[in-house]
Amino acid sequence: MEDEENIEEELLLVESQLNGLQDKIKTLLDQQEELYERQAQLKAMLEISKTSRDASNSAPSVALEDWSGKFSWDSQADDTRFNVFGISSYRSNQREIINSIMSGKDVLVIMAAGGGKSLCYQLPAVLRDGITLVVSPLLSLIQDQVMGLAALGIPAHMLTSTTNKEIEKFIYKALEKGEGELKILYVTPEKISKSKRFMSKLEKCHHAGRLSLVAIDEAHCCSQWGHDFRPDYKNLGILKIQFPSVPMIALTATATSKVQMDLIEMLHIPRSVKFVSTVNRPNLFYRVYEKSSVGKVVIDEIANFISESYPNNESGIVYCFSRKECEQVAKELRGRGISADYYHADMDVVAREKVHMRWSKSKSQVIVGTVAFGMGINKPDVRFVVHHSLSKSMETYYQESGRAGRDGLPSECVLYYRPGDVPRQSSMVFYENCGLQNLYDIARYCQSKKNCRRGAFFQHFGEAVQECNGMCDNCVSSIELKDIDATYHTKITVSLLQEMQQNDQRATLLQLVDKFKTKWKHSGCSNEAVDLKKEEIEQLIVQLILDRVLKEEFQHTAYTTNAYVVLGPLWKPALQGNRPVKLTSAIHSQDSGDRFKSAKRNQMSNLEAKLDDLRRTISSRNGGIFPHAVLSTEQISLLNCHTPTTIAELEKLIGKVKTDKYGSDIIEVMWSETGSGKDSGDGAKRQKKDKGVVFVESGEEEG
């Protein structure tokens, strides 16, 4: 008997020691997991830093050649840039890239979205004799580019599955015999890997010395490590093998060092000159708004934001978490007078294309989309990108928000955040490699009320910090902040979870908030700790997850995956109150205007509105051309500033090609708005001054 008791006693002891050990092992395993993740992060950072150092050491051609110096084609390039493309000056790195291509080098370009990569191959294509081949992944991107070039009078065509027989014949003749006018030929990668006929024509073109340049757009599609891998891109290596003497330019907006190495190898361009531009998008204003837990209130806020900040139908995108949410939000925005269409992967291609087209031509203002609305969005004048919920990583957010302001003009990226959205995303991404870590990075971005938003991007992409210039909410906010001591609240949360776990109970984030409130009430609140609002408790719990005091655990049901909050590796010190926990809260939550709001041209002038109408009229008159291909928004502000009233003045601002095409229409608008010309009765005088220019449309005057 006694023996048995002793045994039982010892058994209990051993079991409790085992439990203790298992806890320790769990904590150690958690720590190991954290360290592995950090190790991977540090290795990647080291790789980036090594590659950039190697690039500057091992590519003497880069160091020795001054791509910004003088070249024999300078004046011809300047003339084409301005008179054909209507671009008044180069942006950062464009001139250097063009010069290296013109010198016959292979080039790798990494430049942020909207940085102006197209000009880097289109301008040399016009300058060099012969035909430039451009490989691009999507039909819609190709169509946009070909139409844009046609509007500039540059002979460009595409050879895709939609090309009719007649055009195909024309293209093959141009390749084979040099007949007909063809300067730039766009193809999808499938043409290279699947059409022997096409490759044989291309070889003939090359043998006759007429293949001037090969451009690979969206080159990150080559790499399996990239975010848009396309198997057919893997076969593009054949191009350098077949045409070694033809310069190749590979362009992409985002490529980690791993992707860069991958694509240099796959495209066989080991000696390429590399140009890496900053990830910074100085014209984008980043802000995070607190998101209400009431769905309708969120929509009201988004609708108000759009109609107050963008009353002139300026284009925007609203990103949503799910397809259903997309449809719902679009419907509710429409109900509030905003012309919005939805776009997601469940729609058929024709319906998607229709929605995209309407929006591209500014016939609808907003697309409410899921992540499916991605690569292929070429619209330069997107003024705002709203996130109805947070993205799954900083990288995804950078890309999605980066679709704003590709024309370089001030634009806004707004994210509606509530901590309750974190578990919605985490239950989708937890099985992905580093999925949770990536999600927690963006959650940290959203939770912060103090740190520069731009700084978070620099840190994420391993780039030196640059000035924000007051272009994020945290840098300009006049909201007064206070730090709440949440050490006691943390203790309560941890002990609550400890009790629950002992009883084999679990709670989701929202359930935990409710349980916290009940426990708080019963705890007597004798402590001087302040009462927290529901949103603040949610915020605290997410902060504790990010700080590893708590963690998320997932369980599949037949229909869904639930995310539960459980104790994390650092719960013990938190329970003992050894680690002070601070929660940042806003004292006055009203945003008393910021520099972006006042700097941004909220109202278009009458003249700008008229020119905007004009570009839309010309666009619909000419079928396919987009309004921004007629006149860019930047050009409209230029015209608004300088108010040219003669063709000669106009040509100095927008170049020859656009003046020849649209000059008389534009001048007519200028006259009607500025009171010059026929209204002031000096039309005849003006006509005399601008000999050779006939304003056919101003009929009254002529007669």
Ligand X SMILES: Nc1ncnc2c1ncn2[C@@H]1O[C@H](COP(=O)(O)OP(=O)(O)OP(=O)(O)O)[C@@H](O)[C@H]1O
Name the residues that contact ligand X, by CB under 6 A: 87, 90-91, 94, 111, 113-119, 253, 380, 406-408, 632, 634
If phi > 0 it is left, if psi is from -120 to 50 it is alpha, else beta; for residue 310 that is beta
What span, in angstroms and rounded, lies between the C-alpha atoms of 461 and 463? 6
Residue listed under structure tokens 């300047």: 78
| Interaction partner, residue 369 (Mg ion, ligand X, none; CB < 5-8 Å by kind) | none
Closest to ligand X by CB, 117 vs 551, is 117
CA atoms within 13 A on the CB side of 677: 24
Closest to Mg ion by CB, 117 vs 281, is 117
Which residues are near Mg ion by CB under 5 A? 117
* Closest distance of CB 654 from ligand X, Å: 12
| Interaction partner, residue 407 (Mg ion, ligand X, none; CB < 5-8 Å by kind) | ligand X
* Closest distance of CB 115 from ligand X, Å: 4
Q: What angle do CA 206, 209, 213 make, to 5 degrees?
A: 70
The CB-nearest residue to ligand X is 116
Contact 552, 436 (CB under 8 A): yes
| Interaction partner, residue 374 (ligand X, Mg ion, none; CB < 5-8 Å by kind) | none
Tokens of 681: 């009765």
* Closest distance of CB 616 from ligand X, Å: 16
Tokens of 547: 């700080």
| Interaction partner, residue 91 (ligand X, Mg ion, none; CB < 5-8 Å by kind) | ligand X
* Closest distance of CB 230 from ligand X, Å: 15
Closest to Mg ion by CB, 376 vs 455, is 376
What span, in angstroms and rounded, lies between the C-alpha atoms of 249 and 216? 6
* Closest distance of CB 666 from ligand X, Å: 18
Closest to Mg ion by CB, 114 vs 569, is 114
Q: Give the DSSP H/E element, type plus range, for residue 582.
A: strand 582-586
| Interaction partner, residue 90 (ligand X, Mg ion, none; CB < 5-8 Å by kind) | ligand X
Tokens of 313: 């139908």
| Interaction partner, residue 253 (Mg ion, ligand X, none; CB < 5-8 Å by kind) | ligand X
* Closest distance of CB 296 from Mg ion, Å: 38
Closest to Mg ion by CB, 237 vs 376, is 376
Mapped onto helix, strand or coil, the DSSP state of residue 480 is coil
| Interaction partner, residue 278 (ligand X, Mg ion, none; CB < 5-8 Å by kind) | none
Radius of gyration of the chain (CA): 30
| Interaction partner, residue 86 (ligand X, Mg ion, none; CB < 5-8 Å by kind) | none
| Interaction partner, residue 597 (ligand X, Mg ion, none; CB < 5-8 Å by kind) | none
**What residues have CB less than 8 Å from 457, skipping those under 6 apart?**
279, 280, 394, 398
* Closest distance of CB 84 from ligand X, Å: 12
What span, in angstroms and rounded, lies between the C-alpha atoms of 466 and 648? 41
Closest to Mg ion by CB, 252 vs 585, is 252
Contact 373, 557 (CB under 8 A): no
What span, in angstroms and rounded, lies between the C-alpha atoms of 104 and 121? 12
Closest to 149 (Cα-Cα) out of 85, 79, 81: 85
Contact 137, 188 (CB under 8 A): yes
Closest to 352 (Cα-Cα) out of 373, 327, 322, 382: 373
If phi > 0 it is left, if psi is from -120 to 50 it is alpha, else beta; for residue 55 that is alpha
* Closest distance of CB 80 from Mg ion, Å: 19
| Interaction partner, residue 124 (Mg ion, ligand X, none; CB < 5-8 Å by kind) | none
If phi > 0 it is left, if psi is from -120 to 50 it is alpha, else beta; for residue 463 that is beta
| Interaction partner, residue 115 (ligand X, Mg ion, none; CB < 5-8 Å by kind) | ligand X
- What strands lie across the sheet with 366-369, from one edge to the other? 284-290, 411-417, 382-387, 315-319, 366-369, 340-343
What span, in angstroms and rounded, lies between the C-alpha atoms of 392 and 371? 10
* Closest distance of CB 220 from ligand X, Å: 10
Closest to 488 (Cα-Cα) out of 548, 535, 533, 540: 540
Closest to ligand X by CB, 509 vs 631, is 631
The CB-nearest residue to Mg ion is 117
* Closest distance of CB 502 from Mg ion, Å: 57
* Closest distance of CB 217 from Mg ion, Å: 6
- The DSSP output letter for 152 is T
* Closest distance of CB 482 from ligand X, Å: 41
* Closest distance of CB 512 from ligand X, Å: 41
Provide the residue type at 340 as one letter.
Answer: A
Encode 153-189: b = buried (16+ Cβ within 10 Å), e = exposed.
ebebbbbbeebeeeeeebbbebbbeeeeebbbbbbbb
DSSP β-bridge partners for residue 424: none
Closest to ligand X by CB, 145 vs 393, is 145
Closest to 122 (Cα-Cα) out of 146, 93, 139, 140: 146
Contact 183, 210 (CB under 8 A): no
| Interaction partner, residue 83 (ligand X, Mg ion, none; CB < 5-8 Å by kind) | none
| Interaction partner, residue 116 (Mg ion, ligand X, none; CB < 5-8 Å by kind) | ligand X
Closest to ligand X by CB, 147 vs 510, is 147
Closest to ligand X by CB, 261 vs 638, is 638
Closest to ligand X by CB, 87 vs 394, is 87
Closest to ligand X by CB, 253 vs 574, is 253
Closest to Mg ion by CB, 276 vs 530, is 276
Closest to ligand X by CB, 91 vs 517, is 91
Tokens of 16: 């409790």
Phi, psi of 275 (to 5 degrees): -120, 115
Beta strand 184-187 with 131-135: parallel, antiparallel or unpaired? parallel
Q: Give the DSSP H/E element, type plus range, for residue 96.
A: helix 94-102
* Closest distance of CB 119 from ligand X, Å: 5
